[in-house]
Structure 1
């Protein structure tokens, strides 16, 4: 048995080998009532011990397989221990040491060695000398200190179920194993062939190739429900085989709030830096203690070089840590964190506020700030513009244009992609198509040209195949023409098989005709509102909405835009002023969090029938189809739909209200490009009035002819279009020095 371990791990200390065999033999031959539990614990402990002591080149799965093989050999040699044994059932389970009580994890940077004495809180018979065991543990600890973290297996779902900073740090270190070795010289290009991704039995990608060149910024686009977010999650969990020296960070959900100041939460996000600083402090203290400790005297009376060796080891480790911190530019961390937060709208005062005091939208900004601060080699962003206002989107686009690493962003914001993306990846038909060296507009034109070319090639080949087949069928059995028929058969067999190109994806939104009403339609006169007296959200607002109005409301998050809409539709009552509406006016309100109004346990068809009864299922399906909810999608539970598909259901329900005025709060969130174009066309052709709060520059520029800015408690008309507003934001950011330039590695 020792020989098999030595074969797999030839450099392993014999003390560890002897201990492992002895421990397994004891557990496998035990006849105690808890024999099965003892064996499970032994397998867990020995597997973890050998994995920690093994070089990085040895796959942990090979070690696990070897341990199970050795146990099987022991059982075959010594026979069954108990008739009631359920050993095989136990061994079929994957046992992780860190999940058992009284057994320490060795995954962390500052963790200690395996608790050999505390395995199952019992004494273990062993012929191994206690001092030799302690020596073996010290060797394992030294090896861990040098490489600090190895690639370890992890539970994928942990990424999107983080409860606190501790779990975030643990997961970060598991996904991004830290090494003191410099990453200089290692390629950070990503090319993975044969990628397959599925979710809930649905195939997202089949045998496709993922290619990401380091330093490029990729926009990942595709229609709603195609699986773009699923692909990002798979990458963030390393379910796709990305080399472990390439760091990955995924911005998907808001951080949990606690008493930590915002700027400290950003600094703590860089787990490598935090752990290295803690390790630097620990080693510095150990060196200080070592200097104060008297030199040990040997039996012969001579001095010992043990202290000198220990000091040298700590000095070398401290030098490695200093080099790693210098490579990370740790000394510039606080100024860089402050600059990023300022760009995302956090004033110097707000940067000191506890994270628990921020709303969900601001916590999402904090999550983004943490990711930008960490500077991962691969930054994954899922619809970042959904959580940001126009000023913050403008800052983010400027920031990413100088980002030194690789960015993969899912976005349906055409203007954002035009500014940020250097390449576009189109996800469709279970594959990825690459459009290099261009922004979204160039991709759109190239994609359409590719589709037309593929359609022509396919049609031409089908016509040629038909021509050949007609001749073959006519003259195959004609003696005079048989040789020509055979020649055509060979030509037909040699023709490449072309797949029919994807059908052109299009969607049309349609709102119903509007009955005419005489003005005034909807007015706000001198309106003020405050949740707490003396602290108004908006003050002295005068706003007039007519059936031909196309008004866009912009401004920073938290300025009161949504509050203004709720006042208009009557969800809130003004503290001061007057709001008047036409007596027959019907207002359709699209809420930013519209999903909360949907019953996700029902299908879209059933939900429409429940909320707006009086039509047949076929009529509801036809109505939903006009908003892109076609086929079986309308009959599935809405919980299974993507964010964009749920938005389409909400718009379909909005249309069933036959509104005169559409009041829309972030209507473009989650919609794909085609749906956004369809929505813009429908709003332009709508016979009633439109009042929308949006951060999407494209839809604001396409639909709205009047722009109102909500900021500092006021709502004022802006003398220009959305491009002029963006230009003003950039000028203000430039004059205040908000857009940070010192964020490169």
Structure 2
């Protein structure tokens, strides 16, 4: 009861009609030994109760009152505490009254009790007490305690939402199409991914989200899709993350079914037809009216055009007419992901979230998707490592780094230029500030003991003290991948296919009469549509598949390093990267495993964390470390850029260019192909042939096919 009367006097002044029991409760919270570190703590403890007392007072007004109370807390708890009045006996405030402020008697702190005391709202009081109890319990918990689901560490989010937005959402009056998500934190276990971050997505704009592997880009998309980050509930969201479940539904029907309104209207139409036909001449007049209404609504949404639109989207993503009539269970995971993407493009949600959409597509499908998304009518947020794709699609960029989000206007190329110039300016400003401070400090050191300059020295010292804290410019470390450098020279040819043919049975021929030769200087990229036999060709080169006809020649000292997304999928997720290395290459010291992993950026705690907690790009780096542990002199890489960030893709291109062995690469990433490859081989139409003119000629061929299809 040290200072309750003081707090009550302030509260009573602001809320003259407050219930006495509620007044006791609020002042008791402030005087009850609770630790309040700032105004926000006071607001969190009693702000909600004060809002309920007087709904006319807005949030800013309540915070001003809390600020007065916090200052009083500091005064009464600090150096002036000795001035507090010590009472001889406890005083029951319910039996006393606070003194009216209109009197001039400063010696008494009591007022007369009002005759008409309103009844306290017990529910409000219980709600306030529960809120305070929850706050106290949260303080007892360990900070950064990992959130777990099914025994696995998962991400968690916290957000401060303004009362104004909450009221608008509760009233259902918000019809804004722009998405604004403010003041939120995201953590993955003990690792903080974003802190006090905010961003806005303007309706109709297309945003590219970029950042280093492990920064939390995919986690951010999941938090938005699950609405763990709060924003307008009327905004529809679709996150293309999981493949369509394989069942007996046809691919074309799976896409059409995602239009729920059309599906419901067609169902209603069918049911009404059945009722009319079953009425045996005694037709209910209302049935005809209902059927006419259904027809009108179907015409309004252009339901008759839906099948052709769905077929066009599936065709653009690589589905032939026959494939569109196959059931979803007949497709592999990659093709079912394409169906999921087709469903998203068909349904046109208010916010479409795409996480590495080009991973599942060949070059032809990527070019189609680029053209399609350029006319996307709603808001789009894309995570991608493909610079060419972002340049063609994005109108804005969001850079996730250093636990924050920075927004930029323009596509990836414009973003990179702006960011580079911004960092240069920041560095120049930092260096100028350092130089100025050093100059002032030199003056102080020189004349510190000069009596004639004492006043000037003091002035300079105060000048330094008033300068803002100088923070160095944060630079992201350069990504470096270290492939084996010392290789045994092998005389050509080291890997060769002579008149090779392959089929999965008499009815499934893949290709025939393939002649392919590679040596230590080879830089070959294999392209083609999905299903044309690219991965099958790699399996033959590796010796995993035997050709139906023809011969595979291989140098006896050839050591092939093979990268495949399948290797990522088969890693034991409960083990860490060091344990994975030890299981594949036993008998070495832990430092040797660490050194190998460190060559590919898997350093520090990344090497000791369970593989399940690593991002897709970090898992890919572990696979690179495993691939190179056997000191290979030839690389065969199947889509190595999937899940890598842009900086790592660039580092991969540099590393492959300087590698002294041969390289055969299957990739759809245009920037990597242009940096690395000198030869282009095209799979398709039952053959594998060299493409004169390289990637540019291949793209012209694909674009010509687009024009013919239109």
Cα pair 1:236 1:249 within 8 Å, conserved: yes
CA distance in 1, matches of 2:608, 2:464: 43
Write the mapping of 1:49-198 to structure 2, written as runs, cut at 5 A: 186-198=175-187
CA distance in 2, matches of 1:202, 1:369: 35
Number of equivalences: 549
CA distance in 2, matches of 1:518, 1:591: 27
Match 2:690 to one of 694, 717, 722: 717
Q: Unaligned regions of 5+ residues in structure 2, if any?
A: 1-120, 128-147, 151-171
Change (3 A) 1:725 1:484: same
Equivalent in the alignment of 1:364:
337
SS in 2 for 1:394: helix
After superposition, the C-alpha distances for 1:175-205 in whole angstroms (9 at most, x for unaligned) are xxxxxxx99x943112222122223343222
Equivalent in the alignment of 1:679:
652
**TM-score, normalised to structure 2's length?**
0.71
Shift of 1:706: 0.7
After superposition, the C-alpha distances for 1:561-595 in whole angstroms (9 at most, x for unaligned) are 10110111111111111101011111111113221
Change (3 A) 1:524 1:228: same
Change (3 A) 1:596 1:285: closer
Match 2:531 to one of 544, 558, 562: 558
| 2:363 equivalent to 1:390 | yes
Change (3 A) 1:288 1:560: closer
Change (3 A) 1:462 1:614: farther
SS in 1 for 2:418: helix
**TM-score, normalised to structure 1's length?**
0.68
| 2:430 equivalent to 1:458 | yes
Cα pair 1:209 1:432 within 8 Å, conserved: yes
Cα pair 1:221 1:228 within 8 Å, conserved: yes
Name the stretch that deviates more: 371-380 or 201-210. Answer: 201-210
Write the mapping of 1:234-633 to structure 2, written as runs, cut at 5 A: 234-278=223-267, 328-437=301-410, 439-469=411-441, 480-512=452-484, 513-613=486-586, 615-633=588-606
Match 2:700 to one of 709, 722, 727: 727
Name the stretch that deviates more: 535-544 or 406-415. Answer: 535-544
Cα pair 1:195 1:210 within 8 Å, conserved: no
Name the stretch that deviates more: 654-663 or 447-456. Answer: 447-456
Cα pair 2:276 2:283 within 8 Å, conserved: no
CA distance in 2, matches of 1:620, 1:663: 23
Change (3 A) 1:205 1:360: same
Q: Unaligned regions of 5+ residues in structure 1, if any?
A: 1-66, 74-155, 159-181, 296-306, 738-745
SS in 2 for 1:593: helix
Shift of 1:553: 0.4
Shift of 1:618: 2.3
CA distance in 1, matches of 2:373, 2:702: 17
CA distance in 2, matches of 1:238, 1:374: 19
Change (3 A) 1:715 1:288: closer
Equivalent in the alignment of 2:30:
none
After superposition, the C-alpha distances for 1:342-378 in whole angstroms (9 at most, x for unaligned) are 1111112211111111111111110100000001111
SS in 2 for 1:369: helix
Cα pair 2:239 2:353 within 8 Å, conserved: yes
Shift of 1:508: 1.1
Equivalent in the alignment of 1:230:
219
Change (3 A) 1:294 1:227: closer
| 2:203 equivalent to 1:203 | no
Equivalent in the alignment of 2:112:
none
CA distance in 1, matches of 2:303, 2:231: 26
SS in 1 for 2:239: strand
